[in-house]
Structure 1
Amino acid sequence: MSLQCGIVGLPNVGKSTLFNALSNAKAEAANYPFCTIEPNVGVITVPDERLLILENLVNPQRVLPAVIEFVDIAGLVKGASKGEGLGNKFLANIREVDAVIHVVRCFADDNIVHVAGGVDPVFDKEVIDTELQLKDLESVDKKIAKVERTAKSGDAKAKKELNTLLQYKQALESGQNARSVDVSKEDKEAIADLHLLTVKPVIYVANVDEASIHTGNQYVDALSKAVQSENAQVIIVCAALESQIAEIADPEERQMFLEEYGLKESGLSKLIKASYTLLNLITYFTAGEKEVRAWTIRKGFKAPQAAGVIHTDFERGFIKAEVIKLKDYQQYKSETACRDAGKIAIEGKEYLVEDGDIMHFRFNV
C-alpha cells in the first residue's frame, strides 16, 4: 500500500531542509536507507520498535519495515491558484497526495530572508491556505452550478447535495479549510469527486531553533491557536538539527547525540509516526526464517483485505488467518511454543486486524 505525504511551505521556511534530512536519514536497519523515486519523492521507513523485538526472537535472513512516501512539493507563491510561479504544478501535486505536511517557520534569523519581511507563522499558514481555498472554491462553484439545475426540478437527492455544497462554499469563502466543515460521512460524498485540496488531513510542522525544541516559543503558540478549529496536530521540529542527526550513520552515536539534546527520538521519527497515524494506518507482521516483515493496512481492514496486501490471490482464496499477539510471542519465544500453549487464534473472514498482530494466512486458489 503506497501512501504519500506532501511537504508544503513558503520559500525559506525550512521545507527543503526537512525533506533533505528525511532523504539522508538512515533507516532503523542499515539495509533499508531512504531511496529516491523521482528527484522530489522519497521512500522512508516507518520506525517501529516491534520489528527489532521480532528480529531478535526469529533471527530471520532479512527484515523489511513498513514504508511511507514523502513528496517535496514545488514551493508556492501568492497567486498560485491563478497559476503564478509553479502554481499549477504545485496544486496538481497536492491533489495527488494522501496527506499534507505543512512546514511553518517558527524561528527568527536575520540571515534567512522571510518572504513577508518578518516571522509570522499564522500569516504563512494563511498564504498557503488562501491559495488552496480559492482553488477549492472554484471546484465547489462549478459543481453547485450543475447540481442547482437538478435541485430546482425538485430532486430530493440533488437538494441535499446542494445544501452540503453550500456549507463548503460558505466555509471556504470565510477563510476556513474544507476539513473544518462538520458534515456526516454520507454528506461528504457530495464533494468526494472534487478531490478538494483543503479537505486532506494535515500535520503542521513548526520549524524552530535549537533553543525551542523542548518548550516551543511564541510563534509555536500562535500557530497552535490558529489550527485549533481544524483539530490538526502541531509537531515541533528543528530542521537544522535534524540535518545533523540524519548524517550520523551509527545508531549508538545517533542515540548519544539525541541524549545530549535531551531527546528520546528525533523530530523526523515523530513526524513519520504521526503521518502514519494521520493516514489511519496500522501495521501487522509476518514472521518466518526467511523474513520478518511489517505490512501497512488501513485501520478497520478485515483479515482477507489484510491478506490481499501481500497478494491478491491471498484475498481471493482466503480460508483463515492464524494470529499471534506480540506479547504472547515475546513470552513464549517462538511460533511453535505459542501453538503448544494455545496462543494462536484461528480467525475467519470477519476478523478485524489489530495493530501489531503477527499473522499467517491459509488460502486456496
Structure 2
Amino acid sequence: MEIGIIGLPNAGKSTLFNALTKGHAPVSGYPFTTIDSNVGIVAIPDTRLDFLFDLFQPQKKTPAHIKFIDIAGLVKGASRGEGLGNRFLAYIREADAVLHLVRTFENPEVSHILGSIDPVRDVEIVETELILSDLESAEKALQKTETAARTGDKNAKEKKEKLEKIKICLSDAKPASASGLAFEEIREFNLLTSKPVLYAANISEKTDRETLQKLKNYAESKNSGFIEIYSKLEEEMIELEELERQQFLKELGIEISGLEKVITESKKLLNLISFFTVAGKEETRAWNIKHGAKAPQAAGKIHSDMEKGFIRAEVYNFSDIEKHKNEKILHEKGLIRSEGKDYVIKEGDVCLFKFTPFRDTPIKV
C-alpha cells in the first residue's frame, strides 16, 4: 500500500510524515522546506499477527507495510511553474491513494501561505493544480495513442476512447474519477485525480469546529475518507516508548493514533482486507489484498508461481485460532477447510497454499 501526501506549503505535511514514519524530515515555518520527496516505509501494527507469532513462535514476524511519500507543497499556479511547480507530482503518480493534508488553525510562528485559514479553499486550490497536471498528462498520452490507433491497433483504439473521455472531464475542471470510467479501467494512466483521496484535517487546540465541519462536509460530498489528526502532537511522541505513547494518548482523550487512523481509513478507501500465512517455524506474515480476491490471487501475493500452480488452500479464520489456540483442535472441530480456486478470501483468514512449483527452487509460503 502506497500513499502520497499532498497539500499547500506549511500545511504540516513533513510534520505528519515524521509522525507517521518516526522520521526526521526537515520542518520549518517557511514554505518549501521539502524540495525533494521524503519516503518512509512503516510496518502496519496488527495485534492478530502478534498473537499468531506468540502462539507459533516462528523465527520471523513480518507485518504488512505502508509506504508514505511526502512531496513539496503545491501552490496556485504550480502547473505554470509557480512555487516549486508540479514536477514533484511524478513521485506519487504510482501511489495507490492520496492523503490530502489541510491546515485548520492559525499559528503566528508558521505563516499560512495565503494569509488566512480556509480549508475548503485550500483543498480546491490543490485539486485544481492536480486536474491541470493530469490534463497535461492525458493530452500527451492521447497524442501517442492516436498515432498507434491509426495503424488499426485495437488496444490503442480502446485506450484512445478512454483518454478522450478523461480529457473532456478534466477540461471541464472535474477529476478523472468523475469520467464514468472505473478506476481499474484507467489505472494504467497514473492520473492523480483518479485515485482515492483521504482528507486529513491537521488540527490543534486552536481549530474552529465549524471550520472543521465544512471540510468534513466537503470530503463527504466527494465520497472520500476524512480524519482529524494532531500532527504536531503526534510528532512530539516519536521518541516515546509504545506504552508511554498509549498512556499519553489516553490522558489526552485520544482513542487511536494518527497512524492507526490513516491505516484504517486507507484500507477502507482501497477496499483492502488482511490475511495471514504461517510457514511452520520460519515465518508468520500479514498480507493486504483487495476485498473479493480469490485464493489463487492471495497465493500470488506471495509468489506468482503459487498463483499459476495453485491447487488448493487450507484455511481457517483468526477468530477460531484465537479461541482454541491449537490447530489440532481446529482440525478436530472441522474448522480448517480445504478451499479451491473459487474461494473468496475473508478478513482474518489464515492460509496455507498448496501448489505445483514451476521451477526447482523451493518457495516459502
Distance in 2 between residues matched to 1:168 and 1:99, nearest whole Å: 19
Distance in 2 between residues matched to 1:159 and 1:145, nearest whole Å: 12
Distance in 2 between residues matched to 1:364 and 1:166, nearest whole Å: 44
Q: What displacement does 1:136 show?
A: 2.2
3-state DSSP class of the match of 1:322? strand
Q: Please state if 1:307 is matched with 2:303.
A: no
Q: What displacement does 1:63 show?
A: 1.9
Whether contact under 8 Å (1:180, 1:229) holds in the other structure is no
One-letter amino acid of the counterpart of residue 117, structure 1: G
Q: Which residue of 2 aligns with 1:202?
A: 197
For 1:208-235, what per-residue CA distance to the aligned partner results, in whole angstroms no more than 9, with x for missing partners? 00465xxx71222121222333201111
Q: Which residue of 1 aligns with 2:223?
A: 231
Q: Which residue of 1 aligns with 2:361?
A: none
Runs of 5+ unmatched residues, structure 2:
24-35, 358-365
Q: Which residue of 1 aligns with 2:317?
A: 325
Whether contact under 8 Å (2:177, 2:195) holds in the other structure is yes
Q: Please state if 1:114 is matched with 2:112.
A: yes
3-state DSSP class of the match of 2:128? helix
Q: Which residue of 2 aligns with 1:31?
A: none
Moved more, 172-181 or 142-151: 142-151
Q: 1:286 aligns with which of 236, 255, 277?
A: 277
Distance in 2 between residues matched to 1:236 and 1:319, nearest whole Å: 45
Whether contact under 8 Å (1:4, 1:97) holds in the other structure is yes
Q: What displacement does 1:324 show?
A: 0.8
Whether contact under 8 Å (1:180, 1:230) holds in the other structure is no
Q: What displacement does 1:166 show?
A: 6.2
Q: 2:341 aligns with which of 346, 349, 365?
A: 349
Q: What displacement does 1:103 show?
A: 0.5
Q: Please state if 1:67 is matched with 2:62.
A: no
CA RMSD, aligned part only? 3.0
Q: Which residue of 2 aligns with 1:364?
A: 356
Change (3 A) 1:67 1:114: same
One-letter amino acid of the counterpart of residue 174, structure 2: Q
Change (3 A) 1:39 1:344: same
Q: What displacement does 1:97 show?
A: 1.6
Distance in 2 between residues matched to 1:274 and 1:39, nearest whole Å: 23
Q: What displacement does 1:160 show?
A: 9.3
Runs of 5+ unmatched residues, structure 1:
26-37
Moved more, 9-18 or 38-47: 38-47
List aligned pairs for 1:43-192, cutoff 5 A: 43-141=41-139, 168-169=166-167, 171-183=169-181, 189=185, 191-192=186-187
Moved more, 102-111 or 171-180: 171-180
One-letter amino acid of the counterpart of residue 271, structure 1: V
For 1:45-86, what per-residue CA distance to the aligned partner results, in whole angstroms no more than 9, with x for missing partners? 112221233234323333211101001112223322234443
Q: What displacement does 1:314 show?
A: 2.0
3-state DSSP class of the match of 2:189? coil
Whether contact under 8 Å (2:37, 2:72) holds in the other structure is no
Change (3 A) 1:349 1:87: same
One-letter amino acid of the counterpart of residue 280, structure 1: N
**When the two structures are superposed, what TM-score results if normalisation uses the length of structure 1?**
0.83
Whether contact under 8 Å (2:316, 2:336) holds in the other structure is yes
Distance in 2 between residues matched to 1:204 and 1:355, nearest whole Å: 25
Q: Please state if 1:252 is matched with 2:243.
A: yes
Distance in 2 between residues matched to 1:54 and 1:149, nearest whole Å: 55
Q: Which residue of 2 aligns with 1:340?
A: 332
Q: What displacement does 1:312 show?
A: 2.5
% identical equivalent positions: 47
Q: Please state if 1:263 is matched with 2:238.
A: no
Q: What displacement does 1:11 show?
A: 1.0
**When the two structures are superposed, what TM-score results if normalisation uses the length of structure 2?**
0.83
3-state DSSP class of the match of 2:311? strand
Distance in 2 between residues matched to 1:223 and 1:39, nearest whole Å: 26
